[in-house]
Amino acid sequence: MSAVLDIAARHRLGDFLLDARLTSEGRLTALFGASGSGKTSLVNVIGGLIRPEAGHVRVEGETLVDTEGGIFLPKHRRRIGYVFQEARLFPHLTVRQNLLFGHWFVPRAVRKPAELGKVLELLGIGHLLQRRPGALSGGEKQRVAIGRALLAEPRLLLMDEPLAALDEARKAEILPYIERLRDETRIPIVYVSHALAEVARLATTIAIVEDGRIAACGPAGDILSRPDLAARPGAPEASSLLTGEVVGFDEAFGLAQLRTRAGPLTIARGSLRAGQKLKLRVLASDVMLSLEPPAGISALNVLQGRVAEIGERTGVGGSIVHLRLVCGDALVAARLTAKSVEALGLAPGKIVHAVIKSVSVETT
Amino acid sequence: MNHWLSPEEWTAVRLSLIVATTAMLASLPLGLGVALLLARGRFWGKSLLDALVHMPLILPPVVTGYLLLIGFGRRGLIGQFLYDWFGIVLSFRWTGAALACAVMGFPLMVRAIRLSIEAVDRRLEDAAGTLGASPLWVFLVVTLPLCLPGILAGMILCFAKAMGEFGATITFVSNIPGETQTLPSAIYTFTQVPGGDAGAMRLTLISIAISVTALFLSELMARMIGRRIAIE
């Protein structure tokens, strides 16, 4: 089977050169990078808003652009949903008309009855149908924009920083909907963001965009824990992504026990339910390493593993070193001082114990 | 009304309304096209077209009327062609008055529509494109509705200009009662004869009433549309 996404684009925009190659198998591919790194330009190439000087765009095996073959499908024939940073709803139409706008243009041959009810339920916007965009809040507008793109029956959904213009509360309101989109629909998503928390929570594949190029691309857990990437300026802070399942509770202390591929973890119970699956993130700077199984410490979580990779010394004066451990069959990133690395004599293959405080485990 | 106005005066009012309405409606399709071309097009000679469209605004109306007479008169280049092929005569007919009014109102109409097209957010059009709308559909269901207030304003301006047009009309089609004598020509005629003051005043009041009504209607419609498309 062909890759979900296969893109190569070369395009000059003033002084900026976009020269990106990318293939992804992920359900949600995040393009991560600083502002001005070319994320939006790349998405515009996929969506058909930019015609690249050279390159190709293939989505699930279908060629949309191939400059060598002289193929350039105009944007209205690509069937790629695009959710912009600003919702861009049509101000002269009601929410209902906005939602059904794209559905009307789906070619007869492939058109299915509008799944309006399903989309309304998925996004929680059923009560807004008769309103006009001017009367919606920022979060509501963005959800309508997502619904509008979905109802056009896209083969791919592009989301260009859909949450950037919203405050924290609105972001928290929309994130679960995007997760449902990723898990419940069959539509692959390309998600642009410069917010690490969003990317860590949503992405299955991450592509790091730097100065118009793809610096790295791979599964989210791998990319975020890579020592060589963490050392680059402007890179996301290294962290470990784990999936956990709630297997038990410590009622007396309000804790939950999780099973992860890295080993057992104990975290605050909060509102977790038995059997619930959740995504966990641990920042590399919150991980402490010990050569012996530690005793008499407050941290509840100790994962045994071995050192897989040790990065270059970075930071001012080369004081910092990023490491990657393999615990069980999961990757765990750690960030230590160069002095500690030398004092412990850390080297690839060495058995270590990663100490993680319960409060350092972020759940999403 | 008929008792208050003499039949000749009444004819002038009716003729003016017909001429102005015809001028407005007939120049709308072309005005829309030219406005679109000037707002969005990139082609050689764009500034030339822009200057040409604005010409009637700058030229003395008499000059415009005389040019129309040369071009569209029975012996004129275009006039002769229209007569030979279609049997259409413009000179000294009310249709000629409508043509003169349309030419004079055209720059105002184009200007208003052009500004409103330029004000339409291109990003909305891009969004419509990604939703599967072809360029023609994008124009019909996004661009056009969004610049409706500007189109309306352009039509009203053209109508108002046509109601008041005098110089080009009288030069091109003269001042024939019942055929080409519009309100301004009729008022002018009254001022040229002894004892015409009362008639001139009556027509002046009517002229003011029509203009104010047109302005009021356009305000009302603009507000209605404005409320529907409250820009975010």
pLDDT at position B232 is 38
Residue B214 structure tokens: 């047109």
- In B, minimum Cα distance to A88 occurs at B124
Is pLDDT above 50 for B22?
Answer: yes
Is pLDDT above 90 for B86?
Answer: no
Neighbour-count burial of A359, counting CB atoms closer than 10 A to its CB (0-12 exposed, 13-18 middle, 19+ buried): exposed
Q: Which of A16-25, A277-286, B151-160, B214-223 has the lowest mean pLDDT?
A: B214-223
Report the mean per-residue pLDDT for chain A. Answer: 89
Rounded mean pLDDT, A312-341: 89
The total of structural domains in chain A comes to 2
Report if residue A52 sits inside a domain. yes
pLDDT at position A110 is 77
3-state secondary structure of B182: coil
Q: Are residues A243 and A218 in the same domain?
A: no
Rounded mean pLDDT, B67-84: 87
Q: Are residues A110 and A148 in the same domain?
A: yes
Report if residue A73 sits inside a domain. yes
Rounded mean pLDDT, B148-161: 90
* Structural domain harbouring B79: 7-228
**Do residue A133 and residue B228 have CB atoms under 8 angstroms apart?**
no
3-state secondary structure of B181: coil
Angle, CA A36 vertex, CA A35 and CA A39 arms, to 5°: 85
Q: Are residues A245 and A212 in the same domain?
A: no
CATH code assigned at B115:
1.10.3720.10
**Do residue B229 and residue A76 have CB atoms under 8 angstroms apart?**
no
Rounded mean pLDDT, B192-205: 89
pLDDT band (50, 70, 90) for residue A122: confident
Cβ proximity of A302 and A355 under 8 Å: yes
Question: Which chain A residues contact residue B137 at CB under 8 A?
Answer: 76, 105
pLDDT band (50, 70, 90) for residue B97: very high
**Do residue B123 and residue A84 have CB atoms under 8 angstroms apart?**
yes
Q: Which among A101, A134, A141 has the least Cβ separation from residue B131?
A: A101
Q: Are residues A248 and A316 in the same domain?
A: yes
pLDDT at position B228 is 62
Angle, CA A305 vertex, CA A304 and CA A311 arms, to 5°: 135
Q: Are residues A215 and A139 in the same domain?
A: yes
pLDDT at position A236 is 74
pLDDT at position B46 is 92
Q: From start to end of B87-184, where are the E strands? A: none
Q: Are residues A293 and A186 in the same domain?
A: no
Q: Are residues A66 and A112 in the same domain?
A: yes
Mutate to test the interface with A, among B120, B121, B131, B232 (most CBs of A within 10 A): B131
Q: Which among A76, A80, A90 has the least Cβ separation from residue B134?
A: A76
* Whether B130 contacts chain A with CB within 8 A: yes
Report if residue A234 sits inside a domain. no
3-state secondary structure of B145: helix
pLDDT at position B230 is 52
Q: Identify the residue whose tokens are 């209902």.
A: A96
Is pLDDT above 70 for A16?
Answer: yes
Report if residue B2 sits inside a domain. no
3-state secondary structure of A267: strand
Rounded mean pLDDT, A321-327: 92
**Do residue A47 and residue B228 have CB atoms under 8 angstroms apart?**
no
Of the candidates B60, B158, B63, the one whose C-alpha atom is nearest the C-alpha of residue B102 is: B158
Report if residue A231 sits inside a domain. no
Report if residue B1 sits inside a domain. no
**Do residue B132 and residue A102 have CB atoms under 8 angstroms apart?**
yes
Report if residue B213 sits inside a domain. yes
Report the mean per-residue pLDDT for chain B. Answer: 89
pLDDT digits (tens, 9 = 90+) for B27-68: 999 999 999 999 998 999 999 999 999 999 999 999 999 999
| Strand ranges across the sheet with A80-83 | A80-83, A156-160, A189-193, A28-32, A205-210, A213-219
Q: Are residues A221 and A292 in the same domain?
A: no
**Cβ atoms < 10 Å from Cβ of A14:** 5
Rounded mean pLDDT, B165-170: 92
pLDDT digits (tens, 9 = 90+) for A154-212: 999 999 999 888 888 888 888 888 988 898 888 999 999 988 888 888 999 999 998 99
CATH code assigned at A37:
3.40.50.300
Q: Are residues A82 and A136 in the same domain?
A: yes
Distance CA A136, CA A128 (A): 8
pLDDT at position B231 is 47
**Do residue A90 and residue B128 have CB atoms under 8 angstroms apart?**
yes
pLDDT digits (tens, 9 = 90+) for A257-277: 999 999 899 998 888 888 888
Q: Which among A74, A78, A92 has the least Cβ separation from residue B145?
A: A92
Rounded mean pLDDT, A311-322: 86
pLDDT band (50, 70, 90) for residue B75: confident
Report if residue B221 sits inside a domain. yes
Of the candidates B207, B208, B157, the one whose C-alpha atom is nearest the C-alpha of residue B185 is: B207
Count residue pairs from A and B with Cβ separation < 8 A: 75
Q: Are residues A141 and A274 in the same domain?
A: no
Contacts of A13 (CB under 8 A, 6+ apart): A41, A50
State the alpha helices, DSSP H only, in chain A: 39-47, 95-105, 116-123, 138-151, 168-184, 196-202, 220-225, 227-230, 338-344
Those residues of chain A whose CB sits closer than 8 Å to some CB in chain B are 47-49, 74-82, 84, 86, 88-92, 101-102, 104-106, 132-134, 141, 148-149, 152
Task: Tell which of A202, A225, A248 closes a domain.
Answer: A225
* Structural domain harbouring A306: 239-363
pLDDT band (50, 70, 90) for residue A234: low
For residues A16 and B214, the model is more confident at A16
Residue B28 structure tokens: 């709308």
Report if residue B170 sits inside a domain. yes
pLDDT digits (tens, 9 = 90+) for A35-91: 888 999 999 999 999 999 999 999 998 999 999 999 999 999 999 999 999 999 999
CATH code assigned at A294:
2.40.50.100
Is pLDDT above 80 for A26?
Answer: yes
* Whether B136 contacts chain A with CB within 8 A: no
Q: B151 to chain A nearest CA, in Å? A: 16
